[in-house]
Chain A
Amino acid sequence: MAVASACSGKQSALDPHGGPAIHVEHLIIGIVAVCTVIWIVVIVVLGLALLRSRRAGAEDANSEGRLTTVVFAAVAASVVIIAGLTIASFYTTRNIGVPGSAALTITVRGQQWWWQVFYAGSDASRGFQTANEIHIPVGTDVQVRLEGVDVIHSFWVPSLAGKQDVVPGRSNSLLLRAEKPGAYRGQCAEFCGLQHSHMAVLVIAEAPADFERWAASQRGDALTPADPDAAAGQVAFLAKPCSACHTVRGTAAKGTTGPDLTHIGGRQTIAAGLLETTRGSLAAWIADPQTLKPGNNMPMVPLTSVELQNISAYMESLK
């Protein structure tokens, strides 16, 4: 039951919704099918050989010649089958490669233990940064450039594409393509330290018009807090060490080592998929990050309860 339930839903290589993942699925199903047939044939022949008793006088002048033919036929069949599987594998590799001209290029930097996501700007629009949540338009080839910061990670969104390592000091590429709108979960697939299991990423595929709307809102500066609590939170946020690591565009907070918080309230999860984004979970996270995600690089900043309330209200207001 548990095994079956793992084969569908928003994170499964057996429930593909994107070009590369579909090619990989076809390959694995093809290889498993061929190998199953071969296994059945081998077991049947073996069973027959075990059951059949040796007949007296079966070895005549021609028996060695017959056996040679059988062995050669088996070798030839193996060569043909292995060559076929190799060709299928090459064909799949070619199909999941990044095409020369992807419509959209996103840079993803894996670090302990979250994903930093850059959308490049163009002449008409400026670029922006987000974290742990990638939006892509449906039916479009998206090139993901993967860069490592500290140790080796691996970017894996099973429903959309295969794994690709994220290596410090070099840039890898991966083709991401979703055929159907939806939220597809991915995670780090290379052990990278204490919180490897809490390094999830969400890929949200949406209609091109929705994607453009989302991108336009992300390009904008952070909203000015209307609520008095949130306004007080902004003041506290800027005075405390928070702003030394985090950026909130449009304010004096310009830290670059932590996730960009300009639109954190609009993301579905915080702390790389650890908690849903609610005012309560934001407060819990800020109050004690080392207990919720031990070993992560966010320190416990001493705050009064009022400051904590205000800052979490401010974070929630950053839609």
Chain B
Amino acid sequence: MTERVFSIAKSVLAVAVLLSLASAGGVLGYLRQPRELRFEPPVAADLDWFRLMSNGIGGTPPESYFALGKPYEADAYNLSQGKRLYAWFGCGTCHGDGRGGVGPSFLDGWWLYGPEMVSIVASIRDGRPHGMPAFRDRLTIEQIWQLAGYVQTIGSYSPKVAAPSRNDDKQTRPAENRGPAIILFDEGPVGVHPDQGPSP
């Protein structure tokens, strides 16, 4: 009799623990990533004020970017919006599905201007030599950061905690939420860009 009571109590306890863990997970997920649909105008305007090194490679994001918690690198909503913009603004025309085409690939481990967000934002906003157009008149600065976050995710060296929405079409390349991307690059970019030196 007592044994039965014990076993029932144990199952009730197990269910209770499971439920509280699940709800704690939900609360934690919400706290980690509350959805920010737009920033206050001065904050958004500040996103324009990053500093770039004089050679156009790398630099410092604005202070407010850190205060906001780097929202464009590992926030699933922003990455999804970036993926939408990638399709809407014809990035695929030159960069294909991320493997490049007329324009450089994002998946080969080579970042012509470095993998930093600031470099990617600058490339999209101001354009780059050899054909990359400037998008500053076609996208708001918030959208440019969203798109840059997505582009960085396509070719990131290490896995991110967040991923954009899945493709509805056939996968033609490793998904953005794949395992450690470094595995993909281990074969080395040497064969891909022999003219650009032995390592990325």
Contacts and interface: CB of A to CB of B under 8 A. Distances in A.
A30 interface: no
A244 B44 contact: no
A169 B138 contact: no
A285 B15 CA distance: 48
Interface string A282-303: 0000001011001101011110
A86 to B, nearest CB: 37
Given A169-B168, A241-B137, A299 B142 contact: yes
A122 to B, nearest CB: 30
A294 B34 CA distance: 14
Interface string A220-255: 000000000000000000011100110000000000
B45 interface: yes
B138 A241 contact: yes
B88 A302 contact: no
A95 interface: no
Nearest to A245: B88
Contacts of A240: 137
B37 A241 contact: no
A292 to B, nearest CB: 11
A301 B139 CA distance: 9
B160 interface: no
A128 B38 CA distance: 33
B49 interface: no
B140 interface: yes
Nearest to A296: B37
Contacts of A257: 88
B84 interface: yes
A302 B139 contact: no
A244 B137 CA distance: 8
A240 B88 CA distance: 17
B41 interface: yes
Nearest to B89: A244
A300 B168 contact: no
The residue in B37, B38, B168 that gathers the most chain A C-beta atoms within 10 A of its C-beta is B37
Interface of A: 168-169, 239-241, 244-245, 257, 288, 290-291, 294-295, 297, 299-302
Interface of B: 35, 37-38, 41, 44-45, 81, 84, 88-89, 137-140, 142-143, 168
Given A241-B139, A288-B38, A302-B45, 17 more contacts: A240-B137, A241-B137, A241-B138, A241-B140, A244-B138, A290-B37, A291-B38, A294-B37, A295-B35, A299-B38, A299-B139, A299-B143, A300-B41, A300-B142, A301-B140, A302-B44, A302-B140
